[in-house]
Amino acid sequence: MASSSELPALDVNHCREAHRRIAPYVHATPVLTCATLDALAGARLYFKAEHLQKSGSFKFRGASNAILTLSPEQAKRGVATHSSGNHAQALALAAGLQNISAHVVMPSDSSPAKIAAAKSYGAKITICQATLEARESALNEVLAQTGATFIHPYDDPRIIAGQATAFLELREQAPALDVVIAPVGGGGLLSGTAIAAGASQPTIRVWGAEPELAGDAHQSLKTGVRQLPLPPITLADGLRTGLGVTTFPIIKQRVERIVLVSETEILHAMQLLWERAKFVVEPSGAVPLAAVLAAKSELRGKTVGIILSGGNVATEEMIQMAWGERESVRA
């Protein structure tokens, strides 16, 4: 596979091409509203429901775009990646729909539910230690053994262009937005959103939302220098990775700010989404609402688009998270 530096520079036309390419395969997810959450935020909120996307997250968009741009020879050899879960599931499903084999390296701290889901979509799973170095080492072994094409979880223009299609749909489904907020881990969704938003509505403000315990993107934007990822301990497991060399320059140029939120704020936002709006999202998907509530004085009266990035969480994990939070409050 060509490295990111060998691929064409990314602009909104690539995003629109990706939208046309993947349209037969992805869900055009709905935009949902909730009067209760509007009242709590003091703003008009429009939720892009990517937790209802195939494979349970927005990742299916980018994975589909990457798969559909493979050459016939690359397709024969299959694809490979490393992922804590959502990209693993998305790539496995997108590859399977095209009868292409998928090899996925997953860290040992990945959600058991996400590992099981990736397997159910046909992925051949390799478990490694929960470090970036271990992921890359295990992936290199898989690539050497299979000749598969590496599809990076976020640091690839084809992935970024695919993720941008969520905003392209949101822009058509909702009124003109003052602000759009997406969660940020590796930056594929946020950078794609920023490109699409800037081209379609230049006045829109683009924000990222990130856990305090994984705040490398916030610090990168603040310092202007890409920071290393923090230890992978946040409940928002989809946001534990650091920004990529492709995503960071886009975010640096096009994203106004990144709001940090605590683990308690993430759990509270997830509880609100589950109980009041009936939106079953995972912790990563709740981070943007947590950011809206944390910054509501700045957003009062605004029209805000929120990308609910995914809904891949098991009931057992939810019970454990809720119980742990309850015990911490009692203590």
As separate numbers, helices (DSSP H) first and strands (DSSP E) second, the chain gives 15, 10
| Token digits of residue 98 | 């095209």
| Token digits of residue 56 | 């349970």
Instruction: Compute CA distances 142 → 38, 68, 71, 77, 155, whole Å.
Output: 47, 22, 20, 12, 19
Distance CA 109, CA 40 (A): 34
Q: Which residue has tokens 């949902």?
A: 32
| Token digits of residue 256 | 């106004």
- 3 state SS for 254-302: HCCEEEEECHHHHHHHHHHHHHCCCCCCCHHHHHHHHHHHHCHHHHCCC
The answer to whether residue 84 is catalytic is yes
309, HSE (Cβ side, Cα atoms, 13 Å): 33
Task: Select which of 83, 84, 191, 220 is catalytic.
Answer: 84
CA 265 to chain centre: 19
| Token digits of residue 201 | 């509505």
Task: Select which of 48, 59, 110, 309 is catalytic.
Answer: 59
The answer to whether residue 59 is catalytic is yes
Distance CA 298, CA 41 (A): 10
Nearest CA among 83, 62, 91 for reference residue 149: 91
Task: Name 259's bridge partners.
Answer: 209
**Strand ranges of the sheet holding 179-183, from the earlier edge strand across to the other edge:** 31-32, 44-49, 303-308, 179-183, 205-211, 257-261
Active-site positions read: 59, 84
